[in-house]
Structure 1
Amino acid sequence: MTESYEGRPLPRPYDEVVDQGLGFDLGTLHSRRRALRFLGLGAAAAGLAACGTGTSGSSSPTSSSSSPSAPGQSGASGEIPEETAGPYPGDGSNGPDVLAQSGIVRGDIRSSFGEFSGTAQGVPMTLELTIADLANGGSPFAGVAVYVWHCTREGGYSLYSEGVEDQNFLRGVQIADDAGKVTFTSVFPACYDGRWPHVHFEVHPDQASITDAANAVATSQVALPRDVCETVYAESGYEQSVANLSRVSLDGDNVFGDDGGALQLATVTGDVASGYTVTLAVGVDTTTEPSGGGGPGGPPPSR
């Protein structure tokens, strides 16, 4: 019986490697494509790798997904995997388009804006993403527009889920500063049934381009570390997340599962009382073809 292949656990250890299923085959293909890209063995391999939903590797035992950066770089250690935007993007690609609304460019996304009113409750969270321009040597990607969105502490998505269809909170855009950094003030998201706790984001070339989802140069997700999630979910309002988290894992997630979120697992500091700071270095390569957006992402339960 073989229990692993190329360092990756086999989902069917009693079967041959060729009989492990489509998900395992795709993960193996991603791993080989990334190896080709690292070795510089052809632009074709690089283009193929950008079309996948993840990269291959082992699950990180820490809450950090970033490597120390060289001077003048933003710290991204590789191209962020292209992922689905899920069924609730709010970018016009599947129903509502919050990006066309005045007021979407904001740092504090806890409250609704425009015609809506309401504030999302939960443990405070500051999200910091630092975007690197890999096509230009990993330099800070100043001026790009980053759209982020995530679920409430109850697991619903504004504009879509029952009970919050008349809200547009937990969605916002920031423009990267000279260091390629954007910062959002929010609340810690829930773990809903079937998905690992996460935050969605899209990177657009500039503010003027955000009104068309097709302009995004990268679509991905931030994975949150288990230890922090367990602490947060012990707080009032997150009760359903406790059971949901117990039934999922990074390795089994339909988005992060091919590599355990190696380039997407955030570093988190702080505590429940003062709030948490979630940081991730995001490498974006504009020479590869983005393939995120649309598709399933594990729908949250109705509210």
Structure 2
Amino acid sequence: MDTMRERFVSVTSRALDEDPRLALVLAEITADGFRPARERHPDRVINVGIREQLLIGVGGGLALTGLRPVVHTFAAFLVERPFEQVKLDFGHQGTGGVLVSSHASHDWPAGGYTHMAPGDVALLDTLDGWTVHVPGHPDEAEALLRHAYAAGDDKVYVRLSQQSNAAARPIGPAPGPLTVREGGAGVVLAVGPLLDNVLAAVEGLDVTVLYAPTVRPFDDAALRRAVGRSAADVVLVEPYLAGTSTAPAAHALRDTPHRILALGVGRAELRRYGTLEEHTAAHGLSPAPLRKRITAFLSGRYA
């Protein structure tokens, strides 16, 4: 199976052939994969070099000309480093585009902390009007990328990961949470590539599992429907900074007594390289620690 990043290259290369409004802006990352597309469309495939602020500025400028820019690099260099340009060149200027990241929270531990961005979605939450997709499988990534490219002039962030669930879930024309299973003791909302870990963690537990490949805008109605079928205990399991979706989940349930447990990447820096799987486990997001924390929370013993 190809990775989400590899699927991004193939899908976007075809989309550039099909849609003359689409333009791609790179900052060296993944440039080799797009060499054939650049040869076919030298005016719409632009590599600015290792200049991330310029990367965003060029994307915003292309949007002002009426093009639909697709802007790509690692998440740390796409959202964190040029955040002022994201805020101004897209938000303040009122332009739209598609930011496509890879290697977000801890996908490439050998790159060190400079290449990790567990706070990217939380940072975008400080801005208005961003749609955020977090696919859990390359097939979902393809569907969400195509949806983003055709989304008029919206501002869209597509967060690709090296992690992947074993199977893709269906994604409709209006991506939203899917009910994977139903139960009566609580609701567990799994985001993107953590679905398989969540399903393994809650095996045998009487809980509803929602799967969210799109996290912004937050689907208030879907969470309220799920809580209506079960107890108002909600566990959020997200592949980025723990607590990122606590506020929108609490807002969705503002008229319902509830408890929320937010699980995700911790704030403490893990100062050993290790592997992606080791970092996932260290942050408590592999099946065994997830099960321990979820069962403790549902039983009222969580501290």
Calculate the TM-score normalised by the size of structure 1. Answer: 0.28
Higher relative contact order, structure no. (Cα contacts within 8 Å, ≥ 6 residues apart): 1
TM-score, normalization: structure 2? Answer: 0.28
